Structure 1
Amino acid sequence: MSSEVVSQSAVAVNLEDLRKGNVDFSTLEEAFGPSSLGIIVVKGLPEKFVELRHKLLSYSSYLANLPAEELAALESPDSHYLVGWSCGKETLKSGIYDTLKGSYYVNPAPSFSDPSVQSSVAEKYPSFPEYTAPNVWPPTTLLPTFESTFRELCELIIDVAVLVARACDVYALEKVGGYEKGYLEHVVRTSVSTKARLLHYFPPPGSPTTTAAGKADPADDDDDWCATHLDHGCLTGLTSAMFVDEAANPPVLPPWSPATSPPLPLPELPSSPDPAAGLYIRSRTGAVTKVGIPRDCLGFQTGEALEVITRGKFKAVPHFVRGASSKGGKVARNTLAVFTQPNLWEKVDGEKDFAAFAREIVARNH
């Protein structure tokens, strides 16, 4: 059954106002409260953000177009394909494997790069390889500066997430009885369970007059791209999507040597060639709202852990993603999501730790 689709601008705040603590409660309620879209946009980011975003999202196309044997070497079966490259491992509602998008998963927390930290967490939680397995990185001879670009952009996003969390803490301290001062900021700042997902939506098959799944209405069925879901962490940092015409600009790497400079960033289309492509929020009334994130901004969505931590004051909102149709071209959609999640041992509701919380969600969703 089709739902009405509308477009709406998300609540926006300036990074400097977050730093100075100048974000009022009404703004947070409008962004994250019970009747909200569950997303806030942060503008006024450091100048380097735009360059880092362009470079990493270009890498997404280069990566996804590597030969199959190169991609297979970047997979991590032991982590259930939630580290490194993953494509065709998830099943859709229809029961078929999802081959329309590829993902590259990384734990970007700076402290997680310390082998002793990673091994310590893995020993403590041997049944959680999704969160504890070591990162897999392409060799620099294959994708020069991929790892350094990925890490630098994610660290910037986490730093901004810390400031959003700080604003939420100030609100919760006044509005939530018994709330621990600075708790959410502590969780976001210190977590070694953060997960980043670099996404590549492959240029879709199909006619140029329909969506990639062959449906003209994005509200009819979203499962063919990224099914309606709730994030289960605290705050999810999102870049705007980058659309690349891979026919006009083939993302094919020439032979590299260790001294070779990285591939040039790919030309970015000024906008999506398909107005139906993008991020959608599905409200509790069934209304479907398309939300855009400006290219020089970050979006932060609420997750289920944040809803529990704030005892429902801030709500996790169901959302899905619709990729671009072919529209006569070969257009890919690239984006990055950084899921700031509590450490596995952090208490989410005063009694249950995040490990138990995550297990419940996985059992519920699968």
Structure 2
Amino acid sequence: MTLENIPQGQAVTVSLKELVDGTITFATLTEAFGPSSLGIIIVKDLPANFAPLRAEVLSNASYLAALPQEELETLTSAAAKYLVGWSHGKETLRPGVYDTHKGSYYLNCAFHQSPDLHGAPADHHPDLREYTAPNLWPAATSLPAFEPRVRELCSLIIDTAALVARACDRFAAANVSGYRPGYLETVVRGSLTTKARLLHYFPTSPEEEEGAEGEGENGAEGDDDWCATHIDHSCLTGLTSAMFVDEADQDLADRGTPLHELPASPDPAAGLYIQSRTGQIVKVNIPRDCLAFQTGEALQLITRGQFRAVPHFVKGARTGRDGRRIARNTLAVFTQPNLEEEVQPGVSFADFARGVVARTY
């Protein structure tokens, strides 16, 4: 099966008000998270400030990636395994193959608990600088308002994730033997290890497009060239819709204003693909005014497989041969347990995270 005949996934969509009121039915929760589900839910009717925040923050992904290399070097941290600040070409989603197709800006979201917090406490985990190190913010002279806007959008996503977690708790309490009532919402609201990742997928050159026509991870040609198939090691991952921009038609030196966003990807096959609970690969589109939330590996372990992590990959836009330079920007927020929280009997999230980082960085 090639991506040309991959079906469009119909993710369950709920309103923010339904989450707040707790009126989502068990049938809807089962459709979203049950044994034959996609394991992803879309939330609509978000606060009015979401749309401008998304436009500004995602535009800044392109502006950040276009900064001079010497400035980007000041935003990198080898001590934090490149999981704080700027990261490019440091991650391996396939053994021995470094991912150079995207750049990432990582930040610790402990500020959601208190504006003065910079990361998780380092007292008992001095080796986990990726969760305890302070964030490396771009200078305001380079990217005006970058820090406050990213903080504001991440906090909005975490607040929404807590409401999704409450719905997940209702589902789990009825379907998972021994599930701790209110567990996931407590994790999301109280976490000091939640991690955000602002992603910039670089435009694909004509030469790279020709090279990508080989065998992909999923057996189809070049399926996962922008991001190889993987699962998140979070409990819940919050995702904005992707912003597609033609960087050949933008002045990336004129920072501080939202970029002109294309109405959709010019390559209809480009975008996010996930593997459903039944093993079917489907394409998922997140509406621009919505957020999506998918389940990760930590939640799979905690619930002993009742919630399954969602395998997913990203296919790049094939447009470089017509002179366009199509980039894709998005923001992912990974809500995770605190470092000392057990994800399996005798295995803390700190232990689990060490293994994941060792495999991929």
Please give the TM-score of this superposition, normalised by the length of structure 1.
0.90
**In the alignment, which residue of structure 2 is the partner of 1:304?**
297
**Range 149-158 or range 345-354, more displaced:** 345-354
1:89 aligns with 2:82: no
**In the alignment, which residue of structure 1 is the partner of 2:280?**
287
1:325 aligned residue (318, 323, 329): 318
Displacement of 1:365: 6.0
Displacement of 1:25: 1.6
What pairs with 1:345-360 in structure 2 (closer than 5 Å)? 345-360=340-355
**In the alignment, which residue of structure 2 is the partner of 1:177?**
177
Distance 1:239 1:292, change over 3 A: same
Distance 1:164 1:94, change over 3 A: closer
Q: Residue 222 of structure 1 contacts residue 228 of structure 1 at CA under 8 Å; is this kept in 2?
A: no
Distance in 1 (CA, whole Å) between partners of 2:95 and 2:177 is 44
Displacement of 1:95: 3.5
Q: Residue 344 of structure 1 contacts residue 353 of structure 1 at CA under 8 Å; is this kept in 2?
A: yes
Displacement of 1:249: 1.3
| 1:198-218 deviation line (CA, Å, top 9, x unaligned) | 00011111269x588236988
Residue aligned with 2:331, SS? strand
Q: Residue 29 of structure 1 contacts residue 314 of structure 1 at CA under 8 Å; is this kept in 2?
A: no
| 1:270-325 deviation line (CA, Å, top 9, x unaligned) | 00011111110124665321100000000001001112223322211211111222
Q: Residue 293 of structure 1 contacts residue 299 of structure 1 at CA under 8 Å; is this kept in 2?
A: yes
**In the alignment, which residue of structure 2 is the partner of 1:250?**
251
Q: Residue 207 of structure 1 contacts residue 214 of structure 1 at CA under 8 Å; is this kept in 2?
A: no
Distance in 2 (CA, whole Å) between partners of 1:314 and 1:285 is 13
Distance in 2 (CA, whole Å) between partners of 1:284 and 1:221 is 23
Displacement of 1:92: 5.5
**Range 210-219 or range 295-304, more displaced:** 210-219
1:114 aligns with 2:116: yes
Distance in 1 (CA, whole Å) between partners of 2:97 and 2:41 is 34
Residue aligned with 1:29, SS? helix
Residue aligned with 1:173, SS? helix
| 1:84-104 deviation line (CA, Å, top 9, x unaligned) | 001122245374432221000
Distance in 2 (CA, whole Å) between partners of 1:142 and 1:8 is 40
**In the alignment, which residue of structure 2 is the partner of 1:144?**
144
Question: What is the letter of the counterpart of residue 213 of structure 2?
Answer: G
Distance in 2 (CA, whole Å) between partners of 1:123 and 1:65 is 37
Distance in 2 (CA, whole Å) between partners of 1:228 and 1:35 is 20
Q: Residue 196 of structure 1 contacts residue 339 of structure 1 at CA under 8 Å; is this kept in 2?
A: yes
Distance in 2 (CA, whole Å) between partners of 1:162 and 1:269 is 31
Distance in 2 (CA, whole Å) between partners of 1:300 and 1:21 is 17
| 1:320-364 deviation line (CA, Å, top 9, x unaligned) | 111222252111110000000110111223543211222344456
Q: Residue 347 of structure 1 contacts residue 354 of structure 1 at CA under 8 Å; is this kept in 2?
A: yes
Question: What is the letter of the counterpart of residue 28 of structure 1?
Answer: L
Distance in 1 (CA, whole Å) between partners of 2:29 and 2:221 is 31
What pairs with 1:263-278 in structure 2 (closer than 5 Å)? 263-278=256-271
Distance 1:221 1:325, change over 3 A: closer
Q: CA RMSD in A?
A: 2.4
**In the alignment, which residue of structure 2 is the partner of 1:24?**
25
What pairs with 1:186-265 in structure 2 (closer than 5 Å)? 186-206=186-206, 213-214=212-213, 219-253=220-254, 263-265=256-258
Please give the TM-score of this superposition, normalised by the length of structure 2.
0.91
Q: Residue 41 of structure 1 contacts residue 298 of structure 1 at CA under 8 Å; is this kept in 2?
A: yes
Residues paired across the two proteins, number: 355
Residue aligned with 2:61, SS? helix
Displacement of 1:112: 6.5
Percent identity over paired residues: 60
Distance 1:2 1:265, change over 3 A: closer
Residue aligned with 1:313, SS? coil
> Structure 2: any 5+ residue segments left out of the alignment?
none
> Structure 1: any 5+ residue segments left out of the alignment?
254-261
**Range 350-359 or range 211-220, more displaced:** 211-220
Displacement of 1:269: 0.3
Distance 1:243 1:365, change over 3 A: closer
Residue aligned with 2:274, SS? strand
Distance in 2 (CA, whole Å) between partners of 1:346 and 1:6 is 38
Displacement of 1:251: 1.4
Q: Residue 201 of structure 1 contacts residue 332 of structure 1 at CA under 8 Å; is this kept in 2?
A: yes
| 1:161-199 deviation line (CA, Å, top 9, x unaligned) | 000001111222222232222111110001010000000
Q: Residue 344 of structure 1 contacts residue 354 of structure 1 at CA under 8 Å; is this kept in 2?
A: yes
**Range 324-333 or range 75-84, more displaced:** 324-333
Displacement of 1:146: 0.1
Q: Residue 90 of structure 1 contacts residue 98 of structure 1 at CA under 8 Å; is this kept in 2?
A: yes
1:339 aligns with 2:334: yes
Q: Residue 237 of structure 1 contacts residue 337 of structure 1 at CA under 8 Å; is this kept in 2?
A: yes
